[in-house]
Chains A and B, each alone.
Chain A
């Protein structure tokens, strides 16, 4: 623009038209063939393992909850043929890829399609395990949302708030834990709203500790996060032994939130009962997902936060107070994670017990990274993990065509996450100044 000011404005006749054409780089031959080989293997697994092992007969998926709303018939797929067709589709994609190569951009869709085909044929295989017994797909989705995803999502959102401003948050686990503790205790003494606020406050206090040591004293943030997790575990165990166990009816007996049906929305088939027949902490989670996304990418504060996380010196030179931005973001992030902790007790299981978070904070941290530090990506990663976790519980109960030891299923969430991430996400880029203390010189 500035260069144009000196020259004369272009006349109508000699207007220069430039056509931009994005040159999509093709993948190198070696990578192309490796990718194709991977897809062929996946397709063969669908056909040879799932297809051949599936019991003859239909795979039926239950898409309505028993006794809920309009009666929806089960979805029936012919088990074996479905596996064969889906596997063949994956192999066709692989051959196309080997022959002419998809561009990097369309490759993402190819892989997503292949994973979807693989997952559906896996489910078809599993669902033929006990003929006449439908696979409770809707129930699985509902427990995915209700049981495991909320703490992961909120923990991940809290982590993103921190890390986008340049502070690594390994202490999500500790924030969940103190949130769960305070949530259960205050909810028992007062009510669930107070419990949630107390949980947010507790998570915020832990976030403030993280901020003080990370920003003011420039402590190594990974070590600090680990220490804060130990601190949270010690504090809550001590409080649990010294307070909650002594008077469990007066201090550790919160009422679990009841699901509230959203009028109208909860009548939508399949999605309605899954998404809109939950308790209000789940709805708060939806709101926070939107809020964090908008806040990060559409507001001045969000822009400044990202600037502080990418290049604090540049941000400082234009007058942004780096330390203050980091303090605020880390504390708010801690509060969001604290609410996630409250869900563990008052939102789902009720009373607090020692180490109730049991590693969920670390999985939330993984979701932050797998989601490329973006709120929606992290939500996707958290949902994927939660779904695999629910599947891992359902499969041994529902029965698969071949009996597989239950210990094997316990690995499923982790295996699924690793594969999906390796296939879909690829190389990730952290905020440039993530973990770098900013010392004014």
Chain B
């Protein structure tokens, strides 16, 4: 603009374009990083002072930070965001729980707007001087591996992926076990003889749930001589299945759920984070003729307004695992290797029935306990190819 004296409107034009573009970019940046760690419905306790302290702690190494009494645990979230009512939110709850237990731990998080943010976010956490960085989501595995390799003196932990180096702690969950119980329950609860499951993306942390659910239904059929059908997934055909191709697109989730109901399903098991809310919205639209089994967290807590449509939830104790890791790490002993959540160590399982407590007969509840025992003791073999090794 300043080089050539353009008269009148053109000069104004380019200036305004630049202005709008800058404004737009600034706002977009605002959207992706809300003040480093302040926001989040469940995180109001993570005061901005703690995150600014973390930022001020700058370049000192993690061990010296720990020795100085301040332990900074940072979290890189996946695209669902802090209030996805699912794995991001629960992982963050583990951080807040650890902080409550030990107030010397300061915590912060950064959300990722897309897969392109993983590596920059991890690098930013490292250069911020975090004592440990917890990465949420199996999709981040490659990024964590690369960043951890470049920073061998730093500590990392990753949810939903195995350890990929001596300084990376892997936290995995054999959720097929919990989902197996869910499938058994769904098959027993269904009146139409059709139950349905659909996923966000066809990746192992998702399809493992669907495998377990499918196997649970098959086991129910075998034990009781019934023919309950599973729509949307078949363990024997890992390339098939219904997926919303998104963990956030609620409209798609509702559309898929409605299609299942039209096909006759009356129990829905969405494994799709925030997109799964579409199933709850569909259950509401069908006036409770259809029930939903929520995933990862207790849906009656995270989706309280929809509780009357939630039969139960297949849980994955992310918050417990994260809390345990952060607490141990803060005490100076960074855990290494892998954690595997199972039915036996309460890493996965069924949440309580809440509104449906009266509708699930005692006999069925005791059958579920028996099945759970069978899985924990290895009497019932789960064959899902997606189980963590």
Binding site for B on A (CB under 8 A): 65-66, 133, 136, 139-140, 143, 146-148, 213, 217-219, 223-224, 227-228, 230-231, 233-238, 240-242, 245-246, 248-249, 253, 256, 344, 348-351, 353-356, 358, 389-390, 393-394, 396-398, 403-407, 410, 439
Is B240's CB under 8 angstroms from A406's CB? Answer: yes
- Docked Cα-Cα span, A230 to B24, in Å, equals 6
- Docked Cα-Cα span, A231 to B196, in Å, equals 39
Considering only CB atoms, which chain A residue lies closest to B244 in the complex? Answer: A393
Question: Does B227 sit at the interface, judged by CB under 8 A?
Answer: no
Interface size on B, residues (CB 8 A): 60
- Docked Cα-Cα span, A355 to B32, in Å, equals 12
- Docked Cα-Cα span, A432 to B241, in Å, equals 47
Is A245's CB under 8 angstroms from B202's CB? Answer: no
- Docked Cα-Cα span, A343 to B256, in Å, equals 17
Q: Interface centre among A242, A344, A353, A389, by most B CB within 10 Å?
A: A353
Contact digits for B270-309, partner A, Cβ 8 Å, 1 yes 0 no = 0000100110010011000000000000000000010000
Is B243's CB under 8 angstroms from A147's CB? Answer: no
| Chain B hits for A217, CB < 8 A | 9, 12-13, 16
Is B259's CB under 8 angstroms from A139's CB? Answer: yes
- Contacts A139-B259, A245-B39, A396-B241 given; does A231 touch B251 at CB 8 Å: no
- Docked Cα-Cα span, A146 to B112, in Å, equals 32
| Chain B hits for A143, CB < 8 A | 255, 258-259, 262
Question: Does B27 sit at the interface, judged by CB under 8 A?
Answer: yes
- Docked Cα-Cα span, A139 to B28, in Å, equals 39
Is A213's CB under 8 angstroms from B258's CB? Answer: no
- Docked Cα-Cα span, A66 to B286, in Å, equals 12
Is A218's CB under 8 angstroms from B39's CB? Answer: no
Considering only CB atoms, which chain B residue lies closest to A232 in the complex? Answer: B24
- Chain B contacts with A in 95-141, Cβ cutoff 8 A: 113
Is B259's CB under 8 angstroms from A355's CB? Answer: no
Is B248's CB under 8 angstroms from A354's CB? Answer: yes
- Docked Cα-Cα span, A245 to B38, in Å, equals 12
Chief secondary structure at chain B's binding surface = helix
Is B40's CB under 8 angstroms from A245's CB? Answer: yes
Is B240's CB under 8 angstroms from A403's CB? Answer: yes
- Contacts A248-B41, A356-B250 given; does A231 touch B31 at CB 8 Å: no
Is B251's CB under 8 angstroms from A234's CB? Answer: no
Question: Does B232 sit at the interface, judged by CB under 8 A?
Answer: yes
Question: Does B260 sit at the interface, judged by CB under 8 A?
Answer: yes
- Contacts A217-B9, A410-B245 given; does A242 touch B34 at CB 8 Å: yes
Is A249's CB under 8 angstroms from B259's CB? Answer: no
CB distance from A202 to the nearest CB of B (A): 15
| Chain A hits for B336, CB < 8 A | none
Is A227's CB under 8 angstroms from B21's CB? Answer: yes
- Starting from the known contacts A148-B251, A237-B30, A237-B31, 18 additional A-B residue pairs (CB-CB under 8 Å) come to A65-B262, A143-B259, A218-B13, A233-B31, A234-B26, A234-B27, A234-B30, A238-B31, A245-B83, A350-B277, A351-B250, A354-B31, A356-B249, A358-B249, A390-B259, A396-B232, A397-B256, A406-B239
Q: Interface centre among B9, B237, B255, by most A CB within 10 Å?
A: B255
Is B242's CB under 8 angstroms from A230's CB? Answer: no
Q: Which of A228, A256, A353 contacts B285 (CB 8 A)?
A: A256
- Contacts A143-B259, A231-B24, A390-B259 given; does A355 touch B39 at CB 8 Å: no
- Contacts A217-B13, A349-B281, A354-B248 given; does A246 touch B41 at CB 8 Å: yes
14 sample A-B contacts, Cβ–Cβ < 8 Å, listed by A number: A140-B262, A148-B251, A213-B17, A217-B16, A218-B9, A219-B13, A231-B24, A234-B24, A235-B27, A241-B81, A350-B281, A353-B277, A390-B255, A398-B263
Is B248's CB under 8 angstroms from A353's CB? Answer: yes
Question: Does B23 sit at the interface, judged by CB under 8 A?
Answer: yes
- Docked Cα-Cα span, A439 to B27, in Å, equals 32
Question: Does B195 sit at the interface, judged by CB under 8 A?
Answer: no
Q: Interface centre among B196, B248, B262, by most A CB within 10 Å?
A: B262
